[in-house]
Structure 1
Amino acid sequence: MTDSIGGEFRRIRKEKKMTLKELSERSGLSMSFLSQVERGISTVTFTSVRKIAEALGVSVNFFFEPEEESPIKRKSLKKRADQPNFTYTSLTGDLDQPQFTPARIELKAGESQTAPYSHRGQEFVYVLEGELKVMLEGHEETLYPHESLHIDSSKEHTWYNETDKPVILLVVSTNEGREG
């Protein structure tokens, strides 16, 4: 990443001539929180990154820089970001406009963004390790290793880790209406 994920948010927001207020309205996150994230004062959860990316009209991958330049995926890592609450590793190949985004996500212990939200497209979540809390249209369940969820993302949902151990997920989401 350039300076920080918050710095990238600010850069894209300004390129799109969007105010903090507009970003707040589109993402559902408060202006003060967004300002703190942009200045590197506050950390961000993966759910918040998804909301901000959606509001900016870009893929989550947009905020992470490639580690290697090869059309062949011999290693599982291409783009990676370590944040205090999560680690995001893109598994996307070198396509100009991919129709879906595969990623490996590790939610650190206690990563608990619990406010449900919706966005365009579909989402597939497969639990590799740990216990993942899932809330879908007001119904809450726990997914365990080797269990999965495939949903229409326009339905109110969230998933999070409220345990004291990390949760590792394989997540595949569609890229409807986003820039690559």
Structure 2
Amino acid sequence: MPKSAKTRAPASVDPAPDHLTAQAHVPIDQRIGTAIRRKRLALKLTLADVAAGAEMSAAMLSRIENGQASASLDALERICGALGQSIAMLFAEVENKKGAAQLIRAADQLEVVRSGTRHGHTYRLLSYNRGPQKSFEPFLIEMDKDSESYPRFAHPGTEFIYMLEGEMDYQFGTQRFTLTAGDALTFSGEVEHGPAELRCDRVKFISMIVYGD
């Protein structure tokens, strides 16, 4: 399955459903400060070290880390430079909300358009990553006998498939695997792959693509 996908939300579903997240109420300044402090401590740098590289006082940096002061984009760029990362990386960490939880109700799961959609495959996205770079994509996929054509896919990362219902043959390079309910298959996404034949009227399986750095 290709990495890029165009999202198509059902007409009756909000394309951005509410999430249960432990940090939803935390102000942006505090989240930015926490991300900066986490990175500084991981690098074993002192406030004075980073403040000197960012051309600001250690007291001001401490206020930013504690969410007590807002930093301009220019100040954030200088802080990120002192930490050896880009401002985009900082915002990605803030957006990813490490330690948060995301709940997507069955009624809120988006149906998305993928390369196999026009062949009768239905994809439902089970998790939303709002950051600039996806780390993984989990899908619930359904196919039936009307899917007369089975496209092949190739993409970066590793893919994991878990069969929920039905039976099908799955092609991976020159190998073919027969998968039934409860079977799990893991493989490199860079090798051409995809369903080869349905051995029943309908199949349902979970596909998770985990992308590298």
TM-score (norm 2): 0.48
- Contact residue 110 and residue 161 of structure 1 kept, 8 A: no
Aligned 1:89-168 pairs, distance under 5 A? 89-96=124-131, 97-114=133-150, 116-168=152-204
> How high is the TM-score relative to the length of structure 1?
0.56
Task: Quote the residue 1:75 is aligned against.
Answer: 105
What letter is aligned with 1:151?
F
1:87 is aligned, of 122, 128, 151, to 122
Q: Structure 2 vs 1, CA of residues 101 and 155 (structure 1 numbering), >3 Å: closer, same or farther?
A: same
RMSD: 2.8
Tell which structure's C-alpha radius of gyration is larger.
2
Q: Distance in 2 between matches of 1:128 and 1:160?
A: 17
Unaligned ranges ≥5, structure 2: 21-102
Conserved in 2, the CA contact under 8 Å of 1:109 and 1:162? yes
1:99-139 Cα offsets, whole Å, 9 max, x none, are 11111110122424445443221111111000121111212
* Residue ranges of structure 1 left out of the alignment (5+ in a row): 1-49
Tell me whether 73-82 or 83-92 shows the greater mean CA deviation. 73-82
The amino acid of 1:111's aligned partner reads: S
Contact 1:71 1:93 in 2 (8 A): no
1:23 counterpart residue number: none
Aligned partner letter, 2:127: T
Alpha-carbon offset, residue 70 of structure 1: 0.9
80-89 vs 105-114, which moves further: 80-89
Find the residue that maps to 2:208 and give its secondary structure. Answer: strand
* Corresponding position of 1:41: none
Relative to structure 1, the CA distance from residue 151 to residue 113 in structure 2 (aligned partners, 3 Å threshold; closer, same or farther) is farther
Q: Assess, with a 3 A threshold, how the Cα gap between structure 1 residues 86 and 157 changes in structure 2: closer, same or farther.
A: closer
Question: What code does the residue aligned with 1:80 have?
Answer: E
Q: Distance in 2 between matches of 1:166 and 1:146?
A: 15
Count of aligned residue pairs for this structure pair: 121
Moved over 6 A (4+): none
- Match of 2:4? 59
Query: How much identity, in percent, do the aligned residues show?
Result: 21
